[in-house]
A = this chain, B = another copy of it.
Amino acid sequence: MKADVSGLIDHTVLGTDVDVQKVGMMCEEAREYQFKSIVVQPCRVLQAVEFLRGAKIGVGTVCGFPFGGDTTNIKAASAAESVASGANEIDMVMNVGWLKEGHVSEVRADIKKVVDASRAASEQDVIIKVIIEACLLTDDEKRRAGQIVKEAGADFVKTSTGYLGPDTGAKVEDVAILREVVGPDFGVKASGGIRTMAQLNDFVEAGANRIGTSAGVAIMNEKL
């Protein structure tokens, strides 16, 4: 069971004061536990690529994170630069304000431009995950957000940044809603506040096929 689980985990460290030692440690942990990917800030992508050379572990980074309030141009430029530096997973934040205003085509175009710019920047496959910050959305808005993410050509809809304060992370009900909206062949990533194997299992059961957490090592070391 644990071997299956590790391949679902995006091992994530985004703190302001993360240094190269911390990035190196994360990458070692990712090799040891065979996590799916690591997620670091854009300024650490080149280092993570170097640390993970030869390993089959994704290098992910964020884009417009955590507020989603960068312009579409800058989101696309940031994603393209990260991919050109070797990242193959991009976790971007949807423009939630535009969604709330009903500007669906702008929200879709914001995502599509990041998808297109990322794919154009590399020969390798790039996975784009779009964070909808479900804690701010009504259930209707969550459904609309999931649809838009799929229409825009991204690969995953993701629940949360985890950075809006206590209790703003992933909820099992939201994962179930999103899985229903996007269907069985699309990605659903749960993240924010996931710190135990029991939580992780609940999210997977609800339909998540990727888990973002900074507690991956602790989860893998839980006594069975």
A interface list, Cβ under 8 A from B: 14-20, 40-44, 65-74, 77-78, 81, 93, 95-98, 100-101, 133, 136, 163-165
Nearest chain B CB to A69 CB, angstrom units: 3
Copies in the complex: 2
Residues of B within 8 A of A71 (CB): 42-43, 78, 81
**Known contacts A69-B43, A71-B42, A77-B74: A17-B136 contact under CB 8 Å:** yes
Residues of B within 8 A of A93 (CB): 16
**Known contacts A71-B81, A73-B81: A96-B66 contact under CB 8 Å:** no
**Known contacts A69-B43, A70-B43: A96-B163 contact under CB 8 Å:** no
Best-surrounded residue of A65, A67, A163 (most CB of chain B within 10 A): A67
B101 x A66 contact (CB < 8 A):
no
A16 x B74 contact (CB < 8 A):
no
Residues of B within 8 A of A20 (CB): 97, 101
Residues of B within 8 A of A42 (CB): 69-71, 74
Give the docked Cα–Cα distance between A81 and B67 (Å). 18
Q: Which of B19, B81, B97, B133 contacts A18 (CB 8 A)?
A: B97
Q: Which of B43, B78, B95, B101 contacts A97 (CB 8 A)?
A: B43
**Known contacts A19-B100, A19-B101, A20-B101: A14-B69 contact under CB 8 Å:** yes
Give the docked Cα–Cα distance between A159 and B119 (Å). 38
Q: Which of B19, B41, B81, B97 contacts A16 (CB 8 A)?
A: B97
Q: Which of B41, B77, B97 contacts A19 (CB 8 A)?
A: B97
